[in-house]
Structure formats: C-alpha cells, structure tokens
Amino acid sequence: MEPAKMFIQFLQSSITPVALISGVGLILLSLTNRIGRTIDRTRKLLTELRITPKGREDIIKSELKILHRRNRILKAAMGGIAFSILTSSLMIPVLLLMNIYQLDLRFLGSALLILSISGIILAAIYFFVDIVLSLKAIDFEMKELI
C-alpha cells in the first residue's frame, strides 16, 4: 500500500480514540469542578465548626463525613476517567503499528477499547454515587431549617 493511503487509513482509524479522549476530558472537567466545590465546602464547614455553638456541631460533623466520602468517590471517578484517557491514548500507537508494520493487533486494540469504556462506566457509577451523597448533605441542611 502506498504511504499516502496508509497515512489516511491511520488518520481515519485514529478518530475514535481521539474523540473518546475529548469526550472523557469534558467529564474530567466536570469531576474536577465537583471536587473543587467539595473542598471549598469542607474548608468553610471546618471554619464554621471552630466558632459554632454546641447544638450545631453534630450536623456539621455529619456533613463533613459526607464531604470526605464524596471526595474519595470523586477521586475514584477521576481515576476511572484518567484510566480511560490512558487506554484510549495507547490505542493510537497500536493503530500506528498496525498500519506501518501490517501487524494484526486487533485483539490488543479491542482490549484497550474495552478497558477505556470500562473506565468511563466506573466513573459514571461513582459520579452517580456522588450526586446521591450531595443530596444527602442537602437533607442535613434542610433538617436544620424545617
């Protein structure tokens, strides 16, 4: 096969991993914003805990426990997304090797794609758990007002 056609074929086959990397990059941005908010809220509650009257301490400590758990969950979700980006990125050199040296690395490419999608699924599950926990924290705030 002539070099120009090989290069075009390589570019065509690289579109999927590159699009996948772009998409999960946006998810990573969302997770980064969420963890930033939990960190800010934790700092605010820690400051409030130092000056709060005795009756509110338990509510603040309960919220802090939820925030701590959310931070761990978001960290795991970000790990899943980072893993997805890594495996998607590794697909590109595999595709290049397949094109240049006419190697049959379909199994490796398929395995990397499955791993990449698995990282996204794992991150989505953790993302949902984080949302549930954030609503639980709101319930603590509401109990105080109602």
Rounded Cα gap, residues 99 and 93, in angstroms: 10
pLDDT at 1: 65
Tell me how far CA of residue 27 lies from CA of 7, 76, 88, 111, 113, in angstroms. 30, 13, 15, 22, 17
User: What are the pLDDT tens digits along the chain (146 aa)?
Assistant: 688 888 888 888 899 999 999 999 999 999 999 999 999 999 999 999 999 877 788 888 989 999 999 999 999 999 999 999 999 999 999 999 998 898 999 999 999 999 999 999 999 999 999 999 999 888 877 877 77
pLDDT of residue 27: 95
How many domains are there within the chain? Answer: 1
Domain that holds residue 111: 3-145
For residues 41 and 32, what is the distance between their CA atoms, to the nearest angstrom? 14
* Amino acid in the structure at residue 67: L
- Give the pLDDT of residue 131: 95
- Amino acid 15: pLDDT: 92
Q: CA end-to-end span of the chain, whole Å?
A: 73
pTM: 0.88
Backbone φ and ψ for 104, nearest 5 degrees, come out as -100, 90
